[in-house]
């Protein structure tokens, strides 16, 4: 997407996308040229679209107005929502008149960035296998007296990272295998000149990564631990973004009643790859590891079983209560690996528990932490990103539910309630003293029936490096 040289509206040869507030009047010149008071036919209420045809009075065919409601009540979240509605109405080459949406508190640079990112994310469509995806209409941005091309470029990078993550997660599990994810991550690292390491099964065996290896035992496909490294802040401490890369989850011997939708169990892994792409493309001042433990969780004669005891990479032993509580197992080895690399802050993201989905539905991400200071930074990032997170407790009482006679602790407490917090407490047990940690349970928001993978929380993971 590019910035257009600003023209008076009557000089443009592209259809116009015109944001308008209820407490504003439409440009008098437009009213004069069209020959009637357009204010009387345009619905300026929030998210309302009114398309007016120019009938030859302009060199372009139409002006599409998007209502923004009261300018004193507008927020960046409301603007994102309105621009998403507008984006799905655009069918022809068009120009977005950014200056019309400017308020006393939201400048033209912010408007431009919000529109560009929203347009590209909102018009994303899942690509059918071996068929081209939807070709979106060409849109430029008009921003008089402002050079906003850098803002446009940054917003494009955000949208590209988010949509890339959605592509990965939407891809069928027979195609998006652990090896395929590793190949894509390697290609991305080479594109942005990042350091990387792809640990295969032999490497994991040498590292005694017993948790991911146990989960992998039922699959014919080999597991991988994928690591990308971005250095943009000199000697500053590293933050690790860790994403669950379960390319398909049958539940193992605790077989799921319905495993349709389980190709999305790798959304966390896809999201951290997308986040890393944004960080690298925008050359952010941050030091970041991206780590994805990738495997399937299937059933065969070698698969791990309830009441097995496994030894994790950390050396801690775990009694298996449920083979369907596998995400926390592959993540615990990834957390240990991140700390071995020197990471001092960790954000892990996973479609981890049905309990979190039951508690928060498809509205909020469950957020868990061991650090008030780190949480405050992440909360600021949530607000900046217009994404919804709800803090849930990490408490020793939940970890007590994991007591085991056979091992250091269990991987599940069954169904006594509080499953999302129990899972978070399991992960916290692998976080070293002095390491700040946030766990994001995106089971309810990572994908939706109407749109597939959402890419939600990618912005918040990236924007924490802007705080």
- Given 256, 305, 383, 388, which residue is catalytic? 256
Active site residue 125: no
Cα separation, 249 vs 453, in Å, equals 16
Query: Which pair of tokens denotes residue 213?
Result: 């290896």
396 in Cβ contact with 371 (< 8 Å): no
| C-beta atoms surrounding 356 within 10 Å | 28
Cα separation, 291 vs 227, in Å, equals 5
Judged by DSSP in three states, 327 sits in helix
237 in Cβ contact with 171 (< 8 Å): no
Q: Quick one: which of 1, 10, 26, 13 has its CA closest to 141?
A: 1
- Given 166, 180, 328, 377, which residue is catalytic? 328
**Which residues lie below 8 Å from residue 53, measured CB to CB, with a gap of 6+?**
61, 62
What are the backbone angles phi and psi of residue 397, rounded to the nearest 5°? -65, -30
Active site residue 2: no
330 in Cβ contact with 411 (< 8 Å): no
Cα separation, 421 vs 441, in Å, equals 10
Rounded to the nearest 5 degrees, what angle is found at the Cα of 329, between the Cα atoms of 454 and 306? 120
Q: Quick one: which of 453, 450, 447, 431 has its CA closest to 340?
A: 431
DSSP-derived letter for residue 233 is: S
Give the ranges where 228-301 is alpha helix by DSSP (H): 267-281
Active-site residue numbers? Answer: 256, 328
């Amino acid at each position: 997407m590019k910035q257009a040289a600003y023209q008076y509206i009557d000089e443009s040869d592209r259809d116009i996308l015109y944001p308008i507030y209820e407490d504003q009047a439409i440009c008098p010149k437009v009213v004069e040229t069209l020959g009637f008071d357009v204010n009387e036919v345009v619905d300026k209420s929030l998210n309302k679209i009114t398309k007016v045809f120019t009938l030859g009075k302009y060199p372009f065919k139409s002006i599409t107005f998007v209502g923004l409601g009261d300018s004193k009540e507008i927020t960046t979240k409301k603007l994102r929502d309105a621009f998403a509605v507008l984006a799905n109405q655009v069918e022809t080459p068009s120009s977005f008149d950014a200056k019309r949406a400017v308020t006393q508190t939201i400048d033209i640079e912010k408007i431009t960035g919000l529109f560009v990112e929203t347009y590209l994310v909102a018009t994303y469509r899942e690509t059918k296998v071996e068929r081209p995806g939807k070709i979106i209409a060409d849109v430029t941005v008009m921003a008089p007296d402002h050079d906003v091309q850098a803002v446009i470029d940054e917003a494009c990078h955000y949208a590209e990272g988010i949509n890339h993550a959605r592509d990965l997660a939407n891809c069928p599990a027979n195609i998006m295998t652990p090896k395929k994810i590793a190949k894509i991550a390697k290609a991305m690292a080479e594109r942005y000149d990042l350091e990387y390491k792809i640990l295969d099964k032999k490497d994991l065996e040498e590292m005694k990564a017993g948790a991911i290896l146990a989960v992998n035992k039922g699959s014919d496909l080999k597991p991988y631990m994928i690591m990308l490294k971005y250095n943009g802040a000199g000697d500053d401490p590293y933050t690790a973004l860790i994403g669950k890369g379960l390319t398909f989850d049958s539940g193992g011997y605790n077989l799921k009643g319905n495993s349709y939708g389980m190709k999305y169990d790798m959304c966390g892994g896809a999201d951290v790859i997308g986040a890393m792409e944004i960080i690298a493309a925008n050359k952010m001042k941050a030091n970041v590891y991206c780590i994805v433990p990738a495997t399937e969780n299937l059933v065969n004669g070698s698969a791990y079983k309830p009441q097995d005891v496994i030894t994790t990479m950390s050396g801690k032993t775990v009694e298996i209560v449920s083979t369907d509580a596998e995400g926390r197992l592959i993540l615990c080895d990834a957390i240990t690996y991140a700390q071995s690399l020197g990471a001092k802050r960790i954000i892990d993201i996973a479609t981890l528990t049905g309990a979190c989905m039951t508690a928060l539905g498809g509205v909020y991400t469950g957020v868990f932490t061991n650090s008030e200071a780190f949480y405050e930074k992440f909360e600021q990032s949530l607000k900046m990103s217009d994404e919804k997170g709800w803090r849930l407790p990490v408490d020793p009482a939940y970890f007590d539910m994991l007591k085991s006679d056979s091992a250091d602790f269990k991987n599940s407490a069954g169904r006594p309630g509080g499953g999302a917090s129990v899972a978070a407490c399991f992960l916290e047990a692998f976080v070293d003293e002095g390491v700040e940690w946030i766990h994001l349970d995106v089971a309810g928001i990572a994908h939706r029936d109407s749109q597939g993978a959402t890419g939600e929380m990618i912005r918040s993971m990236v924007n924490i490096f802007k705080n």
